[in-house]
Structure 1
């Protein structure tokens, strides 16, 4: 097997860097989960939107593993996992992508995972596993649990976007019979596993500054559903350069004369502070970042800037929840900061992501023409949402009791939560 284009020297550097990251994380009380999403490269969605990437399946192309075939897939994966854990024994957990987007064919999924689970049970039975719910058959979940593995099932909270801080009450009809996002049919009793909630904020808050403590407090409380004790959120810039060739020069966010930082992630200090602090203790009154805003912007401007950012941060989640075209579900396609949502006829065909809470524009028009509120059934009208855009969708911060201890932030995109 070969990772094409990577030398032994570079492999050694990569290994040392990951070992150092794990060590530094543990020194700070942070656990590290490795995300393993691709098991064999067969193109399609695995290409990440990079032009021509799907045509490289089965070829010796730099950046891809060459030599894995349908015949040696399971033996190679088991041997590779054993070696991976030998080299990184301090790893706390592994997250797996389970379905066909990982390269597996439908007929391969159950036997492949049975082999992998049996191997893990034999060598590392206490290693925590995070099994992604999308396309995950019940039989695979039961297999992991019956083998006694400490497995959690993880699912997207609200599309691959940042909706409002509550679980969608009734998702779009397109995905009501599968586990693409939200809790679907996962809340089963008697309970045998926990659900890990993934807030794919990277499809919504990518570039603009974001920091709403009210949102974080409410979200943390909802992560307790089904005895939940964990969630993750994409860090800012997680989707930067998504769909670009891997050797492409990174784009700069700000022109040189406007840069006030050494590293781009420093722009988003309040995002990290809000998620880190308030998911640890939702009761925190905010004094720490009030002081930080004052230090950064001065005694006159600090608090007004903080409040302006808090209010501005409510806009995108409200748009995603109330009036976002459902076809913009993927983080690879939907970008609420930039998308114009198509032409007027295209936008008029939008269905929305929570069809229980929000009326779509066609239903609104029909209600107006017929002079009837029958279609509304208590749902929020688009016109009312537009008028309310000057008022927060939630005006008072939720105050869950006690520390939540839930937070987990993913870096470098959706995989590899740390």
Structure 2
């Protein structure tokens, strides 16, 4: 018998660029099929599109609660790895403080833009009128109602009844307890980390069906509501880009000029390469090497840049974790005819400021938007349907969100470095040059 090892099976690779094109193509095709169904009255086509869309939504729905719970538990317990010495603790504390400050500014801008543009307004989806009526009553409730609704009668009921706000509360309590126990809780933390990875893998498989889900959701929406469905989506894109532009080109330059004492022109000259890469790649992680080197080119101490920028890459996402959840929450609320009150707007702010820290290491637009909308008391089916509809145009929005994320991941370390005396003005004022990766520097040495 031959001992020659069998050839490795060719694996199908997931190319995000082609996937984005597929989602946009499905949006166009779904709209065309929906228009045909509406024009011809083809009930079989409408039913088919509705079945495809609802199946995709249902697949997303069952991941919502376990995703929220495990993400928060893993995120809180992951904060233990940030410590280490008084200097590190001080730098870590200041970095986290500026993360929170800039997230607060970003989410307020997101809410303001969302309130002005009102994405999703003018079109009301009603998957369950009775359930939506109960949501409307909750959003007009008092602070006492909100507090009473936080605590479940038992752990199982929070999950079985789909009470997402209660799941968030339980996850925060359990995550804090696991953090305080340290190594004693390690088996529990490891289990949640493994469970989170499993859920992420399942979610990844479901997301690969997004082109098909988009086709069904958009097709059914156009068949039901006609061309009116596109205005809310265009408003969502416009609101997201406007919010990101205000943070990227107004808020960050103000912080650089008046806090870090860094010329915004110098910052953008040295950071433009990585911002372009982030816009095209739509990945903060892929941009990390360029982001770290850009921070050093701006004069940030290498030792601090090596700590702050990687931490920011997983925690500091003003585009995905502050601006977009605020705009997206308003979009979904408008889409289902839900009126948000002051309590709900404050909840969105709180989730943006504290939620990204609570989910440190796992933060992304899907997790944060899910957490934000769920914290408002929306049931899983509304959360999943709203997110699925928004996903149809997500590749377009993700470019602006990622560029904003990466800019913030460089700006905050620059601001903190100035305050700690870790910013080298000679390096900062040196002639601008594109950031080089380690391999590039070795090749030019």
**TM-score in terms of structure 2 length:** 0.23
Structure with greater proportional strand content: 1
More helix by share: 2
Higher relative contact order (CA 8 A, sep 6+): 2
